[in-house]
Structure 1
Amino acid sequence: MKRREFIKTSAGAAIGASVLNNPVSASVSKATKRKLVLVGTGVRGTSFWGRNIVQNYGDITEFVGLCDINPGRLELAKEYMGVNCPVYTDFDKMIAETKPDLVVVTTVDATHHEYIIRAMELGVDVLTEKPLTTDEAKAQAIIDTEKKTGRKVIVGFNYRYGTLFSAIKEELAKKPIGEVTSVDFHWYLNTYHGADYFRRWHGERDKSGTLLVHKATHHFDLLNWLIDSDPVEVVAHGALEHYGKNNKFRGLNCRNCAYTDKCKFYWDIKKSERSYKLYVENEKYDGYIRDNCLWREDVDIYDKMAVQIKYANNVQVSYSLTTYSPYEGWRIAFNGKDGRLESWEDIPWRRQDKINQAELHAAEMNQGEDKNTRYDEIFIMNNFNPEYQMKKVVASRGGHGGGDARLQDKIFRDPNMPDPYKHAATSRDGVMSAIIGIAARKSIEEQRVVKIEELTTIKPHPTRNV
């Protein structure tokens, strides 16, 4: 296969006139700061939705309250975030006394619906961390409450805003491979990141809904957005064959374990000052153990998952999630009637291929580019032409491929900025991503094909323009 065309692009150029390179609106008034409250003061809440907002949007936003069931974490959250607002263990009292403009929900996944629904009932809009919720009944309750109250729910899907996924979206819009018929999407978690889910509350399905919901909701949302259609049916397989009870030894937790010399997954929480202060020093309030043994028998989620999804526009998807890979990365390919578009990130041998190709084609590629600049790649191939296009996208060094900052800019800095590729995610998007994982879990448990329309009143549409 020969390369026909080399296209060099920056992140901004790749997205054209989209949200990624729009100037910040000058209409935001510093005199009227948006009042925020945060419920759930763990790592994600206090950092991404806490300290980041204080540091980057403090001119236009203000935290007026923090809420958690753990009073120790609340005090630490104030210090870490750099705020001096009241703290609460009573959510209703916080809303009544602070009168916020927006509630930010970052609690345990299975409790998201409680705060989302109650906030809307009390007349406040909501921004929630993904996943929206963990089962179909809770999803329906959110749908019903949003309709009844007229309030709005935003779901914090940051991957959509990443430079590479945005560039893929732009390329697909040009239809270079004709009508898309199927997608292959495979995500690999390494033995550090993947294993860590099994130490935490995420390893228990009554709290996380399994990684098909907690983690894969990110991936399913990307599929829904890139395919631009709704899922109609799901069939899945999954098992717990590595973590949990699948080991000959287990300890109380990593701090109190007789097997630290033989366990390849031993994690010393004392080496992380923040984790130690946030969790270990506050265990006495709620009993949450952050460095739990990942071999404990309470673990009841899947560590390998494979999902087949059929969409309303007849696109078929093959998806997998592995939690104990030697590397962390992903591969995606869109198969069309006229060709194939594929991309990847952090696959070791592909990275080496890229280095070798850069050396092989040094003369051709030498356009004064920074040798330290890291690029991602999109390959576009035609079914009847051995030549191919390779598009280079400047890789962002920001969180989630640069998506974190762009998501927060859209929410806080300029909500009305142009959004031609519909990066902003609504509650419907939150439902339709979580519901794939919920359906997949149900398919595994009940060993059957699950129809999406069985689960909520949202009816799947061939296109997402609904």
Structure 2
Amino acid sequence: MTNTRRQFLASISMLAAYSAFPINAFSFGSSKKLRVVLVGTGVRGISFWGKRLIEEYSDILEFVGLSDINPGRLEYAKKYIGVNCPTFIDFDAMLNKTKPDLIIVTTVDATHHQFIIKGLEFGCDVLTEKPLTTDETKAQAILNAEKKSDKKLIVGFNYRWSPYSTKIKELLSSGTIGKITSVDFNWYLNTHHGASYFRRWHGEKDKSNSLWVHKSTHHFDLVNWWLDSDPEEVFAYGSLEHYGANGPFRGDNCRTCEHKTNCEYFFDITKDKHMMQLYVANEKHDGYIRDNCLFRNNIDIYDKMSAQIKYANNATVNYSLTTYSPYEGWRIAFNGTEGRIEASLDIPYNKKTDVSQAEMHAKEMEQNALEEAETETIIVHKLWKDYNKVLVPTERGGHGGGDKRLHDKIFKTPNETDPFERAAGSRDGVMSAIIGIAARKSIESGKPIKIADLTDIKPLPNRA
């Protein structure tokens, strides 16, 4: 047990990345299991940061408390995760009673800062789901709290850990196409995955600050990491033209809607026992509707988005997010002084697949990859030469295998050196979320937004 804990502490120290002060190891103690609490018992919290930790790493950690504003979800979460710890509506009471070592935050995005800051002030290390937070004021408050504390903050970025993303990083870092000058990045959410955000609380800016922050923070973190540079300026466009009040009809929820036979987006939550027990059975406690109408009038986020991002190393990035695409996938192209790299995943006409778009969404939401690996291609063009294909073994599900690898790095192979520096801390969290925050500010003001004006982190041409 002591050796396992020592390995865990070594790995955890690598995850702190706010560069304003020296990195210190997390201090959980040395002779007992890690005392972990979870705040926010939605599906991601109780599965990836709950049940899976118990199943895979119970030799090193134990849950000593669960917290949520919904008492019904709390009780279901306790059974689903498989723990026998106390539950709390009051987060402060949980901290005072359980004295945890680590707090895992998986609440609504706009509330992350409350629990992160309280946790750091209480003397706990904190692990938060992405995005770190939803506006620049909250981001700065988090940075200030971490500076004052002797504890650290981890941000759960998982896409970095997928084999495909890692191979792109390897090719770029080795100078395959020279200095990167520009990037074209397009992400497509299909009518299953994209629509799901508009059913949930994510469709309201006061809770998510739009998909610029909740979803695109994943993509911006990848670009920051791939380029090894910080964003410097953002100019963006966005609008709501498909969902929300644009819909032809609306209802209270899918279950009771009189238009279910005519609506292409009808979602039958009654076929999902897990969702019924976690959400529908507990609507009476907080009024949260999981199968809410995509066309309700209070949806105010954007469903089409595009941005131009200038980096401190003078690279420019053209980015777009589509939320009602016929298919799910993404494309990226890096232009360099010595060539071009093109990469894409799940473009249906590039590779024959028998998996439907509905199945693809379901598999991607699973916490572990499927057993069968696939091979995907990255195209490398060199100036004055023909292109080469780089074949990459990949996995479907769990964010391309990134979910499992993120956990395994922390708990199973912490002493292995990671040449790709995939661990993420508060600085990474801020610099990914801040692009989306700047994009929304740019749309609202019609002006480019300087990243340096938003927090005290100054963009660096080379983050290394």
2:123–2:151 CA contact under 8 A, matched in 1: yes
Letter in 2 for 1:285: H
Unaligned runs of 5+ in 2: 1-10, 12-27, 354-371
Encode CA deviations 1:326-346: one digit per residue, 9 max, x unaligned: 100000111011110111100
TM-superposed CA distance for 1:399, in Å, is 1.1
2:445 counterpart of 1:436: no
Q: 1:388, CA displacement in angstroms? A: 1.4
Instruction: Say if 2:340 is the partner of 1:345.
Output: no
Q: Which residue of 2 aligns with 1:3?
A: none
**Correspondence 1:409-420 to 2 at 5 A:** 409-420=408-419
1:203 aligns with 2:203: yes
**Which residue does the alignment assign to 2:398?**
399
Corresponding residue of 2:458? 459
Worse-matched range after superposition: 307-316 or 412-421: 412-421
What secondary structure, in the 3-state scheme, does the structure 1 residue paired with 2:297 have?
coil
Structure 1 residue 412 displacement after superposition = 3.0
Alpha-carbon shift at residue 351 of structure 1 (Å): 1.1
Structure 2 residue identity aligned to 1:331: R
Question: 2:263 maps to what in 1?
Answer: 263
197-206 or 418-427, which moves further after superposition? 418-427
Matched residue, 2:163: 163
Q: Identify the residue that residue 422 of structure 1 maps to in structure 2.
A: 421
Contact 1:30/1:59, CA 8 A, preserved across alignment: no
Return closer, same or farther for 1:373/1:69 CA change in 2, 3 Å cut-off: closer
CA deviation after TM superposition for structure 1 residue 410, in Å: 2.3
Query: What amino acid does structure 2 have at the position aligned with 1:207?
Result: K
Partner amino acid, structure 2, of 1:119: G
Contact 2:112 2:133 in 1 (8 A): yes
Specify whether residues 243 and 397 from structure 1 end up closer, same or farther in structure 2 by C-alpha distance, changes over 3 A only. Answer: closer
Q: Find the residue that maps to 1:351 and give its secondary structure.
A: coil
- What is the identity, as a one-letter code, of the residue corresponding to 1:457? D
Correspondence for 1:22: none
**What's the CA shift for 1:153?**
0.6
**How far apart, CA to CA, are the structure 1 residues paired with 2:263 and 2:352?**
31
Shift of 1:217: 0.2
Secondary structure, counterpart of 2:313 in structure 1: coil
Give the gaps of 5 or more residues in structure 1: 1-18, 20-27, 354-371
Kindly state the Cα deviation for residue 434 of structure 1 after the two structures are TM-superposed.
Answer: 0.1
Whichever residue aligns with residue 456 of structure 1, its letter is T
Distance apart, 1:419 and its partner CA: 1.9
Q: Distance in 2 between matches of 1:36 and 1:127?
A: 10
1:19-98 correspondence runs (5 A) = 32-98=32-98
Give, in whole Å, the separation in 1 of the partners of 2:133 and 2:251. 31
In 1, the alpha carbon distance for the partners of 2:266 and 2:90 equals 37
Task: Measure the CA separation in 2 of the matches of 1:259 and 1:243.
Answer: 16
Deviations 1:277-319 (A, max 9, x none): 1111101111111111010000000000001000000000000
Is the 8 Å Cα contact of residues 398 and 405 (structure 1) preserved in structure 2?
no
SS in 1 for 2:63: strand
State the match for 1:113 in structure 2.
113
For residues 85 and 265 of structure 1, do their structure 2 counterparts lie closer, same or farther at Cα, with a shift above 3 Å needed? same
CA contact (8 A) 1:245 1:296 kept: yes
The Cα of 1:31 is off from its aligned counterpart by 6.0
CA RMSD in angstroms, aligned pairs only:
1.6
> Does the CA-based 8 Å contact 2:373-2:395 persist in structure 1?
no
Alpha-carbon spacing, 1:192–1:30, altered in 2? closer, same or farther (3 Å): farther
**Which residue of the partner structure matches residue 357 of structure 2?**
none
What is the identity percentage for the equivalent residue pairs of Structure 1 and Structure 2? 62
Deviation at 1:269, TM superposition (A): 0.9
Is the CA contact 2:373–2:396 (under 8 Å) kept in the aligned structure 1? no
Contact 2:204 2:301 in 1 (8 A): yes
Query: How far apart in 2 are the matches of 1:373 and 1:221?
Result: 25
Whole-angstrom CA distance in 1 between matches of 2:285 and 2:96? 25
Deviates more, 1:414-423 or 1:47-56: 414-423
Q: 1:435 to 1:106 in 2, by over 3 A?
A: same
CA contact (8 A) 1:217 1:437 kept: yes
Deviation for aligned residue 1:205 = 0.5
Q: Give the SS at the match of 1:288.
A: coil
Compute the displacement of 1:395 (Å).
Answer: 1.0
Deviations 1:430-455 (A, max 9, x none): 00000000000000011100000110
For 1:132, the equivalent position in structure 2 comes to 132
Closer, same or farther: CA 31–147 of 1 in aligned 2, 3 Å: closer
The 8 Å contact of residues 188 and 325 in structure 1, kept in 2 or not, is answered as yes
Provide TM-score, normalisation by structure 2. 0.88
Q: How many residues align?
A: 420
Work out which of the two has the higher radius of gyration on C-alpha atoms and give 1 or 2: 1
Instruction: Measure the CA separation in 1 of the matches of 2:96 and 2:62.
Output: 17
> Matches of 1:140 and 1:109 in 2, distance apart?
15
